[in-house]
Amino acid sequence: DITWEDCPTKQALVIQTDGKIRCRVSANPPATITWQKDSQILSDRYIIENDGIKVTGAAEEDKGEYSLRAMVQQTGKFQDRVIKVEVHVPPEIIELDDKLEATESNEAMLRCQASGFPRPVYAWFDPDQRDLSTVEGHVVDADTGTLIINSVKRENKGRYTCWAKNPAGDAKRSLELSVIVKPEIKQFDNITSVENGQATFECRAIGDPLPELTIRKEGQDRPFDEDDDRVSLLKRTEGDDAVITLTIENTIRSDDGLYYCAGENKGAHVERAGHLTIEFAPVMSSTPSTSVKTWNGNPVNLTCIAEAIPNATITWSYNGRKIQDDDVYTIYGRSAHSNLLVCKFFILVIAFNRDFKNAGCS
């Protein structure tokens, strides 16, 4: 009988490496072995040995079908076997960025591509050398070489390694992942100043890279710069903070309002609002009339309007005497807008005495 020992029908050589196409035949009486490749007699580059064919420096041309016949001359019995041989090529990583930027809280995709035969399978490892196929929040496609980080965090920055392997060998290559931290405005407070005074806004923000800071007033289409009247700007870095200071000199009432501090880097553009309040002394220019006429026997209503920040408290007086609510006077409102109702009884008196002009508000 003829027996095939260690003679797989599918075998592989590794390119540029010495190898052997294995096949040992057992027979009694011993059999004569003849080899062919793709139905052709073997060339001199192949060395036939008792346990197979030795191949030196395997090349692409060595792939194919190798057939062999084992024949026992004394009995005339023979058996044939076909061995299909592939030439494997170790992986070589041909596509992987050296550096990659990802934005905090966004998805990041890392791509790795390698040549080789059979087609390599892939694995990814983080800076702590963890196999990311087992780490939550990471998706590794072992067939395509893609790594997805679902939601990037600051601590994800570091060196990541792509590992491609097939039966012929493996290859590794790394990239540096940097994380862009979106700007966050930590401080931009409401402030108060007085008319003809000074107002100073300070805005602080963090981010990586540090954000560029600007300040604008609501209704303006551009931020302040050094060319603006009465305005000075100072930008600086303190530790991990980007800081901008806006100072307004000789404040006027129209400076009152909303201001916006904006921070921007490659990750995002963010804004935060702050309010400037300008305090000023009472102004009575909006009082509708300083001269009121009535006729005998009728009440009269006097109006006083005082604009001020903070709101002014209005008091009424007559002939230097402070007026209080009583049977003669009724005061409606004592802040910003006030009305004084003088009853008809008193009108008779003041009309008779011609002292009406001496009533007033302050």
**Tens of each residue's pLDDT in the chain, 362 residues:** 889 999 999 999 999 999 999 999 999 899 999 999 999 999 999 999 999 999 999 999 999 999 999 999 999 899 999 999 999 999 999 999 999 999 999 999 999 999 999 999 999 999 999 999 999 999 999 999 999 999 999 999 999 999 999 999 999 999 999 999 999 999 999 999 999 999 999 999 999 999 999 999 999 989 999 888 899 999 999 999 999 999 999 999 999 999 999 999 999 999 999 999 999 999 888 888 778 887 777 888 899 998 999 988 999 998 889 999 988 899 998 888 999 998 864 443 333 233 334 455 66
Question: In CATH terms, are 97-180 and 287-361 the same topology?
Answer: yes
Q: What is the DSSP string of 297-335?
A: T--EEEEEE-EEESPPBP-EEETTEEP-SSSSEEEEEEE
**CATH H-level superfamily of 287-361:** Immunoglobulins (2.60.40.10)
Structure tokens at 142: 């072992």
Contacts of 220 (CB under 8 A, 6+ apart): none
- 217 and 259 in contact (C-beta within 8 Å)? yes
Dist CA 44 CA 48 (whole Å): 10
What is residue 126's three-state secondary structure?
coil
**CATH H-level superfamily of 2-89:** Immunoglobulins (2.60.40.10)
Structure tokens at 271: 């804004």
The candidate with the shortest Cα–Cα distance to 257, out of 272, 277, 271, 273, is 277
Neighbours of 198 (CB within 10 A): 12
The candidate with the shortest Cα–Cα distance to 25, out of 58, 56, 48, 45, is 48
The candidate with the shortest Cα–Cα distance to 213, out of 239, 179, 251, 241, is 241
In Å, what is the CA distance from 128 to each residue of 29, 97, 121?
Answer: 62, 20, 21
- Domain at 189-279: CATH architecture: Sandwich (2.60)
Q: Enter the CATH code of domain 97-180.
A: 2.60.40.10
Contacts of 144 (CB under 8 A, 6+ apart): 122
Structure-token match 């404040």, residue found: 251
In Å, what is the CA distance from 340 to each residue of 39, 311, 344?
Answer: 122, 18, 13
Dist CA 302 CA 9 (whole Å): 115
Dist CA 81 CA 103 (whole Å): 60
What is residue 133's three-state secondary structure?
helix
Contacts of 250 (CB under 8 A, 6+ apart): 196, 197, 198, 230
Q: How many helices (H) and strands (E) does the chain have?
A: 1, 32
Query: What per-residue confidence (pLDDT) applies to 145?
Result: 97
CA angle 103, 105, 108 (to 5 degrees): 55
Query: What per-residue confidence (pLDDT) applies to 159?
Result: 98
Structure tokens at 157: 């920055």
Would you kindly state where each structural domain of the chain is located, as residue ranges? 2-89, 97-180, 189-279, 287-361
Kind of pairing, strands 10-14 and 77-95?
Answer: parallel
